[in-house]
Every structure is written in structure tokens, then in C-alpha cells.
Amino acid sequence: MKKLIIGILASGRGSNLQAIIDNTKKGKIDAEIGCVISDKEDAFALERARKANIPAHYIYPGTHKTFLDPECEAEYIKCLKKHNVELICLAGFMRVLHPPFLRVYRGRIMNIHPALLPSFKGLHAQKQAFDYGVKVSGATVHFVDEGVDTGPIIVQRAVEIENDDTPDMLEQRILKIEHKIYSEAIQLFAEGRFKIIGRRVIKK
């Protein structure tokens, strides 16, 4: 059977990318990684991809800090199409995608967020949760829509926050969960084992 082809966009160290690479190798995800693209030339994620013989591209993001310039966005789309990517996974990609991009891949872009959405959207979510004093936080994989961290939730998992935790300890604990649930969400997509009703992603 033809495998789902995923494209991963990452800006940094790429530990989620690594977990996805490992889980495709272990057969926990029925998909192959068509390419990895970064907006940072020196992202460790690109090195991880090259080491795994996955096409790795740095594509210039433009002059804005929080999104891709339109002409650069077009280059990203061109590259994803060249590699026949069917599902895009944002894994620590630090830029917001615009509606033209979202229209091309509507319902086929996922993101991972290190908190239980809709709480603690945006940057430094683990620290936000820690400072707020919540007793439970976690991680969320969701589809990407026009908002920031607002799309339909695919998988969520919780961790408890202990009295003697530090923000770093919490971040590490959440990261372990991220590495599991991103692969679970991708596999759900690969098997087509869900339907979306309104905001709800229902497992079949």
C-alpha cells in the first residue's frame, strides 16, 4: 500500500522530528517523511533529517519575524509539492502560516503545542502554565487553522505538576509526551481513522 508522505517544518532542535523519524522506522507510523524544511539555516532539525537520508531544505523565510513573506511562502509550497507531501507537520516551526498556504493544505496541517489547549496558547506555554500554578498541564496535537493554536484538537495528554517541579522539569516531562502523541496523531491521519464534526475530531 502506498504510504502517506509527510513534510515536516521545523525551526530548531527537532526532537519531535527525531521521534517521528524513529517511529516511522519502527513501523509505528505508516508514513514516510518526504522532506524537512526549515526557516533557519543552522537548525539542528536539518542535520537530523540529513542523517536519516531525508531531503532537508533551508528556505529563506523573508524579512518578517513571525510569518513567511508571501513570495517565500510560495517557495515552501513549491518544495512541499515537489516532494508530493500530503500532510504537513509543524514541529517547533516558529512562524504563522497565511490563508493562501492553509487553502492549499486545508485540513492537512498539524501542529504540536506544549500545553493543554485552549489554555496557554503562544510562546513559552510550559512556563505560562507553571507560573499560573495549574496542577495539570500537557501537550496537544491539533489541526492548523487561521488562528494561533486554535484548530481542532486531534490528541491531548496530561501531566501532573508536582510541588517541587521547576519549569525545566515540567518542560522535559511534557516533551516526552509530545514525542508520543505526535506520532499517534499522524498514524490516525495515515489510517484515515477519524472524522471532523465542527471542532471535534472523532476517532472512528
Question: Which three-class secondary structure state does DSSP give residue 10?
Answer: coil
Q: Which of 12, 55, 62, 107 touches ligand GRF by CB under 6 A? A: 12
Question: Which three-class secondary structure state does DSSP give residue 139?
Answer: strand
What are phi and psi for residue 184, nearest 5 degrees? -60, -40
Question: Which three-class secondary structure state does DSSP give residue 191?
Answer: coil
Q: Which is nearer to ligand GRF, 74 or 157 (CB)?
A: 157
Q: Which is nearer to ligand GRF, 74 or 134 (CB)?
A: 134
Q: Is there a catalytic annotation at residue 64?
A: no
Q: Which is nearer to ligand GRF, 86 or 178 (CB)?
A: 178
Closest distance of CB 91 from ligand GRF, Å:
5
String of contacts with ligand GRF for each residue 106-125, x by CB under 6 A: ------xxx-----------
Q: Which of 14, 34, 61, 138 touches ligand GRF by CB under 6 A? A: 14
Q: Does 186 bind ligand GRF (CB under 6 A)?
A: no
Q: Which of 4, 8, 9, 16 touches ligand GRF by CB under 6 A? A: 16
Determine which one of 83, 113, 142, 179 is catalytic.
Answer: 113
Q: Helices (DSSP H) in 37-166: which residue ranges?
A: 44-51, 70-82, 99-104, 125-132
Q: Which is nearer to ligand GRF, 85 or 112 (CB)?
A: 112
Question: Which three-class secondary structure state does DSSP give residue 128?
Answer: helix
Count how many residues are written for the chain.
204
Q: Helices (DSSP H) in the chain: which residue ranges?
A: 15-25, 44-51, 70-82, 99-104, 125-132, 167-190
Residue with cell 522530528: 17
Residues 20-79 that bind ligand GRF (CB under 6 A): none
**What order do you get walking across the sheet with 136-143 strand by strand?**
56-58, 31-38, 4-9, 87-90, 109-113, 136-143, 153-160, 200-203, 194-197
Which residue is at the shortest CB distance from ligand GRF? 92
Closest distance of CB 25 from ligand GRF, Å:
17
Where on the chain is the footprint of ligand GRF (CB under 6 A)?
Answer: 10, 12-16, 91-92, 112-114, 175, 178
